[in-house]
Every structure is written in C-alpha cells, then in structure tokens.
Amino acid sequence: MRNIRTMANHQQRRASKTGYHQHTLDTMPSRSLKLSPDLDDAIERRAKALGYPSLSAYIKGLARYDLLCQGPHTMTLPWSSLPLVEQDKLDAKLLRLSKTGVGERGQLLKRIVHGTATV
C-alpha cells in the first residue's frame, strides 16, 4: 500500500484524533490515504492522461467534481464495504481498463450510439 498525503479542511478534527497537526508551507493540514498498488498505478495513469500536474491535483479535482454534482455513489459505495481481497480484484480490473484508456461505461455508450448494445 502506498500512502498519499492530501490536504484536509478539518484541522481541528484531525488534531483531536491524532494530537498533532501536519502542516505544509502554507499551513494546510494533510491526511494519509492508503491505496492498493493497482489502484495507485491506475490513478497515476488517469491523472497523467487527463493532464493533471500531480496526483494531488487529480484527487482534489475528483473531490470537487463530486461535490459539484452531488450525485449518489450507487456503484462505488457498495465496493467500499467489500473485503479487501475483493477490492483488490476490482482495483486490478480498473488498472487493466486504465491501460486501455477506455472505461466500461464508455464502451456501453458507444454500443448504444451505434445501435449494437443488447440490454
């Protein structure tokens, strides 16, 4: 697992949990995030493909997009409660998809547009 440091807006909550603050030069608190190697590789690839300057910028972009849309997480929320071994299998599949550069939803949409989708 790789630890990724991300910025957090809840400095006091973090302080009460850990007893200390981790500050960057601009005094923003940070958090650790553990990712499987496959998920780490997949998001690095995706961030680079989209042109994000860093992994941190990509993660912030995802969070901002989610907060902007306020949509349900009907697919990914159930994944979060799966055993880690099952989550690792999903991460491996996501890595394979990231290597091809084509997501499954994109493929379905393409088949629908071309009239070849079966429901």
Domain ranges across the chain: 1-35, 36-119
DSSP-derived pairing of the beta strands 2-7 and 30-35: antiparallel
What is residue 51's predicted lDDT score, i.e. its pLDDT?
96
Cα distances (Å, whole numbers) of residue 113 to 36, 70, 74, 109:
35, 27, 24, 6
Reported as a pLDDT band with limits 50, 70 and 90, residue 111 is low
Q: Over 80: is that where the pLDDT of 82 sits?
A: yes
Q: Of the given ranges (34-43, 58-67, 80-89, 93-102), which has the lowest mean pLDDT?
A: 93-102
**Average pLDDT for the chain:** 75
What is residue 75's predicted lDDT score, i.e. its pLDDT?
80
Predicted TM-score (pTM) of the model is 0.62
